[in-house]
Amino acid sequence: MTELRPETRAVHLPQPQLDGSRPITVPLYQTSGFVFDDPAVFADGMGRPDGPFVYGRLSNPTVRSLEEAVSGLEGGVGAVATGSGMGAINSVLLGLLKPGDHLIAQKPLYGGTAAMINDLVARFQITVSYVPEADPAALRAAVRPETRLVYLETIANPVTQVADLPGMCAAAREAGLVSVVDNTFASPILCRPLEHGADIVVHSTTKYLSGHTDVVGGIAVFASEELYRKVWHFAVELGATADPFAAWLTLRGLQTLPLRMERHCSNARELALRLDNHPAVSAVHWPGLPSHPSHELAAKLLPDFGGVFSFDLAGGRAAGERFMSAVRLALLAPSLGGVETLILHPATTSHRSLTAEELGRHGIGEGTVRVAVGIEHVEDLWADFAQALS
């Protein structure tokens, strides 16, 4: 070949050659595709989630590193990282359900999931039955010939009910159903649902797994190769797969997940106990408190009780609004699982689509405040809460 001209040289950059060394961290492979010497290798990568890297929507080395890391933490055979938690949840639901199928879910569910199930019912001839999260007999009674899937959440939002994963997953398995568990609130540090009989675990990695409030992402982890490959194919068709930069940020956060969870849980414990004794507070909902309806189950299932709790102000909605505008350190914001303490008012934000009757049934009052505790010093948080309550 003749000497290349500047226009061509500028395009074809030299690749880094790492002779005899390698990066300590997982590099960010910010590329939409890969180059091949052998067309057969190219073809192989198109058809499976664990083959050669071909095209960004199918796979990427940074994304696969995240998938392997989370799959390892959850004890799965494989994982599919997605652009958001809802991307993971919908890849699973839309990938496994077809018109005419019936699903069984607990209630309340994360708002986005609840909205999606309503959509599946309204537009795709799918039917749903709701059962309590810790009632395997109710699950058995709800099974029909066309039931395919059971959907649970390890710890639910915002009053933190804990699902009876061993009982519910066993009932699902007896009936030949696929059980899916949203493990976002627990993280694999507190719970690994596959060990309790679940078939698929989903996460919003936006929350604890990334942990720094700087990325939106999701992941689904599978107990079986068959489900892994099926949902991967569907996530690729849907275009739900993760972006490498988001995966890279999530990997960076994941390295400190165990340390952060320890602090989230200990901060939640201290604040929940102190609020429980505060005269302005009528109830605290955290599964670590013996008064919580899920406490006994949670104590069996989880080594600690998570960093999210909610509490009811005796003064109702007006007191809730006053509290929310009086906090200085805690931030009034959506989401959870980041290093900063965030609070919100479920009745007007995350659970605004529920009727007053439904809110009441799920234990959410006009004066309920949800707290997603961060990793700040607990005395600084308490000082902020105490001044906002006074």
Ligand X SMILES: *Cc1c(COP(=O)(O)O)cnc(C)c1O
Q: Which is nearer to ligand X, 207 or 263 (CB)?
A: 207
Q: Which is nearer to ligand X, 202 or 388 (CB)?
A: 202
Q: Which is nearer to ligand X, 79 or 388 (CB)?
A: 79
Between CA 184 and CA 337 the distance in angstroms is 9
* Catalytic residue status for 98: no
* Distant-in-sequence, close-in-space partners of 123: CB < 8 Å, separation ≥ 6: none
Residue 171 amino acid letter: A
Minimum CB separation of residue 269 from ligand X in Å reads 21
Q: Which residue has the tokens 């290349």?
A: 4
CA triplet 338, 344, 350: central angle to 5 degrees? 95
Q: Which of 182, 199, 243, 312 is catalytic?
A: 182
Between CA 103 and CA 90 the distance in angstroms is 14
Q: Which residue is nearest to ligand X (CB)?
A: 85
Q: Which is nearer to ligand X, 246 or 381 (CB)?
A: 246
SS3 per-residue string spanning 57-104:
CCCCHHHHHHHHHHHHHHCCCEEEEECCHHHHHHHHHHHHCCCCCEEE
Minimum CB separation of residue 350 from ligand X in Å reads 9
Between CA 288 and CA 236 the distance in angstroms is 40
* Distant-in-sequence, close-in-space partners of 257: CB < 8 Å, separation ≥ 6: 187, 189, 208, 209, 211
Between CA 157 and CA 37 the distance in angstroms is 50
Minimum CB separation of residue 182 from ligand X in Å reads 5
Minimum CB separation of residue 205 from ligand X in Å reads 7
Q: Which is nearer to ligand X, 184 or 267 (CB)?
A: 184
Minimum CB separation of residue 380 from ligand X in Å reads 25
Q: Which is nearer to ligand X, 344 or 388 (CB)?
A: 344
Between CA 62 and CA 98 the distance in angstroms is 32
Minimum CB separation of residue 364 from ligand X in Å reads 15
Nearest CA-CA partner of 261 in 73, 131, 24: 73
Q: Which is nearer to ligand X, 204 or 341 (CB)?
A: 204
Residue 138 amino acid letter: A
b/e for 84-103, b at 16 or more Cβ within 10 A? bbbbbbbbbbbbbbeeebbb
Between CA 257 and CA 26 the distance in angstroms is 17
Residues that bind ligand X (CB under 6 A): 84-86, 110, 112, 153, 157, 182, 184-185, 204, 206-207, 216, 218
Q: Which of 57, 148, 230, 322 is catalytic?
A: 57
* Catalytic residue status for 300: no
DSSP codes joined into one string, 142-175: H--TTEEEEEEESB-TTT--B--HHHHHHHHHHT
Minimum CB separation of residue 155 from ligand X in Å reads 8
Give the count of alpha carbons within 13 A of 21, CB side only: 6
* Catalytic residue status for 57: yes
Minimum CB separation of residue 38 from ligand X in Å reads 38
* Catalytic residue status for 123: no
* Distant-in-sequence, close-in-space partners of 174: CB < 8 Å, separation ≥ 6: 140
Pair of tokens at residue 21:
């060394």
Q: Which of 110, 151, 208, 228 is catalytic?
A: 110
Pair of tokens at residue 313:
């102000």
Q: Which is nearer to ligand X, 34 or 84 (CB)?
A: 84
Report, as residue numbers or ranges, the catalytic residues.
Answer: 57, 110, 182, 207
